[in-house]
Amino acid sequence: MAAKEKSRLNFNEARYERLLTHLTDYIYTVKIENGKVIGTNHGPGCFAVTGYSSEDYFEDPDLWLRMVHEDDKQMVIDQAEQALKGIEQQPLEHRIIHRNGSIRWVKNSIVLSKDSDGKVKYYDGIINDITQRREAEQLAAVKQQQLIQADKMASLGILVSGVAHEINNPNNFILLNGRFLEKVWEDVYPILQKYFNENGDFVVSGMMFSEAEEKIIRSIKDIGKGSKRIQNIVQNLTEYARKDTGVLSYEVDIKQVVEFAIKIVDNLIHNSTENFILNIDDHLSKVKGNPQQLEQVFINLITNACQSLRGKSNSITLNVLQKDESILCEVIDEGIGIEEENLKYILDPFFTTKRESGGTGLGLSISYKIIKAHGGELKLSSRSGSGTKAEIILPVYNK
């Protein structure tokens, strides 16, 4: 009977060891004496999670801490110190560096074992690999952020339409009154000029008529020009904010798309550079797609180019050329460029080097997806300090 019992125990131990070996989680035990660690055993499942074997941990007692990600080490140390004092611990999620160099997320749960005096004799920990869960959560967070951003843009479109209406009303008064003043001046000017010729100079609005004449004419014209400019800006914003049908089957004139995008960011261009160069082929084939989405791409690229410039002497060149069965569009700037280590991430959602200045990291990512949906390519080439070239290739529309 004793032999049978021993055989059964050996079988169970072997079964238990096999289970531990194939677990994707692993158990470790920390032995404690007088509040100090005297030994640590890492179960065989540690290899599946960390890439290190039980023997590796036995030979190198500090390995467990060295493999913790630098940014998470302090909270892991704090958890261990609190456990040594007999304070119950909540599970801790942190990063480790796997033996192969990859970063893994783990959940570290600790169960304390105490003697009759309440002193900790040892504690058992279980390490769960939660990398896939964390990646799924991060992806869900990105998707949620994209939905929030999309909702913001939809709200912005509604807001722009409302604001445009509110701006147009007073602007129409300015425009009409400006024209009225222009006609008044045309009628009054000959009388004032005659008086000047017969009686000499006189004061008008705090200055001599000879000086005020040119300024009054210029001011009246500037009122009209400014009001017209407001009218055009409001009209362009209203058109840009109009609801996008999402349809990609329109015949699109790229020249019109580019010219509209330039109108939208005209003020930004004017404030950013004195050297904006536009080269567009006179005869371009149409492309198949959505004009609003393509306008958004060019607005994003031109805006990025403007924001990268270090001074108004730096140039931006926009080329739109026919290349056989493709339309080639290039936005080339003499800006600060992109660091080599950032270039490979530059099209990723929410990656931005302009977080401090309000960058969201969505512009290039969305532009890339739009161009892909149009069957085209968006390529970026850059060197730090040497400017950036954004290249768009779109297939022409063959009916």
Domain limits of the chain?
2-129, 130-243, 247-399
Name the maximum alpha-carbon separation found in the chain. Answer: 140
pLDDT higher than threshold 80 for residue 307: yes
Of the pLDDT bands very low, low, confident and very high (cuts 50, 70, 90), residue 355 is very low
Predicted local confidence at residue 343, as pLDDT: 73
Beta strands 326-333 and 315-323, pairing class: antiparallel
Of the pLDDT bands very low, low, confident and very high (cuts 50, 70, 90), residue 358 is very low
- Residue 172 has which token pair? 């129409």
Q: What average pLDDT does range 185-210 have in this prediction?
A: 90
Predicted local confidence at residue 327, as pLDDT: 95
Single out the residue of 364, 284, 290 nearest to residue 327, CA to CA. Answer: 284
pLDDT higher than threshold 70 for residue 301: yes
What are the tens digits of pLDDT across the range 24-36? 478 888 898 888 8
Predicted local confidence at residue 394, as pLDDT: 96
The second-level CATH assignment, the architecture, of 247-399 is: 2-Layer Sandwich (3.30)
What are the tens digits of pLDDT across the range 256-300? 999 989 988 888 999 999 999 999 998 899 999 999 889 989 998
CATH superfamily of 2-129: PAS domain (3.30.450.20)
pLDDT higher than threshold 80 for residue 147: no
Predicted local confidence at residue 167, as pLDDT: 83
Name the pTM for this structure: 0.49
Q: What average pLDDT does range 48-68 have in this prediction?
A: 91
Q: What average pLDDT does range 92-121 have in this prediction?
A: 90
pLDDT higher than threshold 60 for residue 351: no
What are the tens digits of pLDDT across the range 225-268? 888 888 877 776 776 666 566 678 899 999 999 998 998 888 89
pLDDT higher than threshold 60 for residue 177: yes
